Structure 1
C-alpha cells in the first residue's frame, strides 16, 4: 500500500481545495487531510475504510465535537464498561494541548486517527463485547463473530455529534440487555446511598412471628431492593396494621412474603425462613452484585447480537430453556443441568433430529464412576435397570462371565421404556461433548430451585410438548405421541435445522423484569470479572 501513498496524498490535496471556506473547522483541514491519508495507510482496514468514506476529512478538528464525544463516552458506565478505558477523561485536555502548543500537522492527524479508533473500538465493544470469550474461558465453543459496523452511518453520526445514538444502535437490541442496564443503574444508586446493612452471624434462623432486633435489619435490607414495596402493592393480602404501622422488630406475614420473593430471585427454596443460605445471599455486598451485573452484561454482548429469528436458548446457570419460535412466541421450561464436576458446556449448534423411545448407551465417565461401582456391589443392578452388556461390535454378553473389576472394552446399554434414563425423547445436535436435550423419569427434580444434578446433558420438563413444537415449526410432519406410543426406537429428522445455544448467565431478568441472581455453580464469574477489570490499552 505504501507505493500508492504519494498518489493518495495528491488526490486528497485536490479534494481539500474544493472544501468551502464557510465549513466550520478550528484548523486548516487541507494539509491535515494529506497527513491523515499518509498515516491511515499504516492502520487497520476498518480505520482506513472509515477515512476513505470521509474523503480523509478530519473527524475531530472541532473542539465541540471532541467534547461531545468525551461526554458520550461517560455513558458507557451504564453498560458496565469503564469510560476511562476509552480516554473519556483525557480527550478534551489532549486536544486542547495540541492546539495551544501549535502542534505539527502530523500530531493533529495522529490525534484524529486515535480518537476515531477509540470510537470504533467502543462501538465494537458494545456490539460484541470488550473481551474475547475464548481467552477468558478455554472451554468456550460458541463461534465469535466480528463486529459489523456501518462506517458510513458512523461517519454521519460523528459529523452530527450523535454519539449516544450510535452507542444505542450498537448495543444488543434485546430487552434482557436493557433490563440488565436498568438493574445496574438501580444497584449503583443503592451503593451511592450507602448500600444495605449486613445481618449479624447467628446460629438460629429467623421465621414468622419472631421478635428480634435482627428482624429490623432484615426489614431494612429487603426494603433497599424494593421487596416490601412489591408485597405491599396487594393490600388485600395483608392486615391493615402490618401495612400501615408494622412493628419493625416483628417478623410478620408481609416480611415473610418479602423473604420468599427474595429467595425466588436468588434460586433458593422459597420457605420464607432466613436460614444460613438465605442469610449468606442477603449479606452479599451491593458492590459484588454490581460486579455480577457488569460481567453478565459482557456475557450478553458476546451472545445477544445477530441471533437467528428462531432458536433454542439453554440458560445453564438459570436452569431454564427458552424456545424462540418462528411465530414470535416463546416457549419456556425448567431444565436440569450438569453437576459442577460434570459441567454442561457452552456451545452453539443446530438441532438435526430426535430419537423417540431411545435406548441409552452408558457414557464412559458414568460407566466408570457410577455404573461399575453399582455392578460390583450387586450384579442384579443390571437386570433391575433393564441393562444389557454388549461387545464393541454389539454382540450380547453374559454379565456373569465378565470380571467387573477389569471388564475390558464392553458397552452397557439400557433398553427403552418408562425407566430409561433418557425418557421417551432425545433431541440431538452435533457437538464434541456428546450432550443433548432429553426427557427423564426423575420428574421430581424439576421442583427444585437449583437443579445441577445431571452428568452434563440437559433434562427438559415438558420435553414432549417441546419436541412437537419443533416438528411443527420445521414442517417435519410427525406426531410425537403417535411415535412414542408405537414403542419403537426411531430417529426422526427435522425438515430444517433449528439453532441451539447453550450459554451461562449468573444474572438475568426474570419474567417480571426483576433481576434474578443465580449461584455461580461452575465458578466462572471471577475469571470474567478479572479480565473485565484489567485496564484497557487503547
Structure 2
C-alpha cells in the first residue's frame, strides 16, 4: 500500500485557548513529525467527500479518519507549545456526562486524566505518546457526542416496540477540524444534547440528586427520620430542600412504595404525612431506583430527534396524556386511552395528514384474528349484528358472513359503518404509518376519568376529539370550522376527509419520567408495560 506524504508542512499558528497551559521555553513535540505519523495511520483509504455530504451515520474509526484528514493529519487536541486547555475542557465535559445518565469511564475519563497529568509534568514526551493521547481524546469526544445525540443503546435491542426515528445528523468532524486549525473554539458536547424540555428537566434532577449526599441539612434530616425523630423541624428541612420531582401522582405511595428509591419515598412520606414506618422501610432499598428511572428515560429522549418542532403532538403512553404543543407551550392537552398490556401501543413518529368526520371502521388484522373471527365462528350473524359489522369481498360487495371460515377470512373486509356506536366514534385523525396506529374518538366516554385507561388494541382514544378537530381545522388550518358545523356534518353520517395543508408531527412515546403540568418538576410514572428494566440493564 502506498502513502502520499507532503514534501513539507506549513507550521500551524494556533492561539492558546483561554486558560491554556503554555510552555514558552521549548516545544513539547514536533507537530510536523507527529502529523506524518498520523497520516500513516489514517490515510489508508481515500476519503470520498461526496459520501459524507449525504449525512449518513458512520462508525467512529471512519469519522476519526475524516477528522484527521480535514486537519491535514495534525494533532487536533495538542499543540507543540504545550497548550492543554482543549483537553481540560473535554475532560470536564466527559465527567459531566454522569448528569446525562451516562458513565464517564465509557469515554476514558480516568485514562485521559492520567495522560493529561503526565503530559503536563514537563517530561519529554515521544511522538507515539502524543499520538496515543490525541487520538484517545478524539475517540472519546466522538463516542460521547454520538451517544448524546443518538443514544448509547440501539433502540431495537432494548424495546421491540420502539419505532420512533431520530433524524439528527451526526457530523462532529466539522467542528473538530475547525478547532484543530484554530478557526473555532472548543466544540462543546452540549451541542449534541437533546433540546427536548423533558431532557433538560431530568438532567437538572440528576444534578440536584447528586448533590444531596453533601447537603448537611438533608443528611441530618434523613438521619433524624431514620431514628424515628419525625419532628416538625425535620419535616421543614425536607420541604425546604426543594427536591425537583413531583409527588402528586394518584396512589403514589401505593404504586411506588416497592419500586422507588429511599430518598423519593422519604420525600413522599413527608408530603403525604404517612409517618415513619414508610420512611424506615424505604431505607432498606438497596438500589438507587430513582436514578435508574431517570437514566432510562434520558436514553429514550436521545432516541428522538434532537430539536423539537415548533408545532407538534406528543402522546406519552404510560402517562395516558395527549399534548399539542406550540413553541414549547401546551395549546391543548387531554386524557387518552392506550393499548392493553397484551396489545401495547408502540412508540413511533408520523405526520397527522387528515381529519376524518364520520369514519368507517375497518377491522385491523390483530382484532380480526383475536376477537372478531372467534366471535363469528361461535355466534355467526348474531355476533356481527351485535358489533355492527358487515362483511365485504375485495371488490367492495357485501357478502353473507356464512362464507367466512377460519382459513379464508383474510379474503374479506369487515367494516363498521359511521355512527355513534362506531368503534372510532365520530372523528378520526389519520397519521399514516405501517403499524396502523391513529388517534380517534370513542363511544366509550366512561373510560375517561378512570385511573386505568390501558384498554385499547394499540390506537389512541382521545378525550376531546371534537375540540381537537376544531382547533386544527380552524386555528391551524384557517378554515371556518365550529362545533355547530361539526355536529351538522356528523348528523349526515357521510364520511368526509379534511386534508391538512400543513402536516402536524405526532410523537407517540413511552416515558416513565416526564414533566408535570408546570413544566418545572418531574413526574414519575409506573412502568405499566414493564419496559424499564431491560433498558436499565443494557445501560449498565
Flag whether TM exceeds 0.5 (same fold): yes
Q: CA deviation at 1:440?
A: 0.7
Q: CA deviation at 1:447?
A: 0.8
Residue 273 of structure 2 corresponds to: none
Q: Distance in 1 between matches of 2:88 and 2:184?
A: 10
Give the 3-state SS of the residue equivalent to 2:318 in structure 1. coil
Q: Distance in 2 between matches of 1:333 and 1:140?
A: 23
Residue 268 of structure 2 corresponds to: none
Residue 336 of structure 1 corresponds to: 337
Matched, 1:515 2:522: yes
TM-score (norm. length: structure 1): 0.75
Q: CA deviation at 1:67?
A: 3.9
**CA deviation digits over 1:333-359, x for unaligned, max 9?**
221111111011112222222221112
Q: Distance in 1 between matches of 2:504 and 2:309?
A: 9
Q: Distance in 2 between matches of 1:488 and 1:222?
A: 62
Matched, 1:178 2:193: no
Q: CA deviation at 1:53?
A: 4.8
Q: Distance in 2 between matches of 1:160 and 1:91?
A: 25
Which deviates further from its counterpart, 188-197 or 105-114? 188-197
Distance 1:443 1:226, change over 3 A: farther
Give the 3-state SS of the residue equivalent to 1:90 in structure 2. helix
Q: CA deviation at 1:28?
A: 3.0
Which deviates further from its counterpart, 346-355 or 364-373? 364-373
**CA deviation digits over 1:28-77, x for unaligned, max 9?**
32322322333232584533443355454421344743344323321111
1:458 to 460, 463, 466: 460
1:325–1:473 CA contact under 8 A, matched in 2: no
Q: Distance in 2 between matches of 1:154 and 1:183?
A: 31
Matches within 5 A, 1:87-166: 87-97=108-118, 102-145=124-167, 147-149=169-171, 151=173, 153-154=175-176, 166=188
1:190–1:286 CA contact under 8 A, matched in 2: no
Which deviates further from its counterpart, 424-433 or 185-194? 185-194
Q: CA deviation at 1:523?
A: 2.0
Residue 235 of structure 1 corresponds to: none
| TM-align CA RMSD | 4.1
1:357–1:488 CA contact under 8 A, matched in 2: yes
Q: CA deviation at 1:277?
A: 3.5
TM-score (norm. length: structure 2): 0.75
Q: CA deviation at 1:188?
A: 3.5
- Aligned pair count? 476
Q: Distance in 2 between matches of 1:142 and 1:406?
A: 35
Q: Distance in 2 between matches of 1:195 and 1:390?
A: 72
Residue 277 of structure 2 corresponds to: none
Q: Distance in 2 between matches of 1:216 and 1:32?
A: 65
Matched, 1:60 2:38: no
Give the 3-state SS of the residue equivalent to 1:352 in structure 2. strand
Matches within 5 A, 1:288-367: 288-325=289-326, 330-367=331-368
Q: Distance in 2 between matches of 1:328 and 1:31?
A: 56
Q: Distance in 2 between matches of 1:187 and 1:57?
A: 42
Give the 3-state SS of the residue equivalent to 2:208 in structure 1. helix
1:474–1:494 CA contact under 8 A, matched in 2: no
**CA deviation digits over 1:479-504, x for unaligned, max 9?**
36153343211222222322222211
Give the 3-state SS of the residue equivalent to 2:322 in structure 1. strand
Q: Distance in 2 between matches of 1:26 and 1:418?
A: 80
Matched, 1:280 2:301: no
Q: Distance in 2 between matches of 1:214 and 1:20?
A: 59
Give the 3-state SS of the residue equivalent to 2:288 in structure 1. helix
Distance 1:478 1:326, change over 3 A: farther
Q: Distance in 1 between matches of 2:505 and 2:11?
A: 50
1:337–1:459 CA contact under 8 A, matched in 2: yes
Which deviates further from its counterpart, 316-325 or 450-459? 316-325
Q: CA deviation at 1:286?
A: 6.6
Distance 1:68 1:402, change over 3 A: closer
Q: Distance in 2 between matches of 1:101 and 1:173?
A: 43
Give the 3-state SS of the residue equivalent to 1:14 in structure 2. coil
Matches within 5 A, 1:482-497: 482-497=488-503
Q: CA deviation at 1:156?
A: 6.0
Matched, 1:51 2:46: no
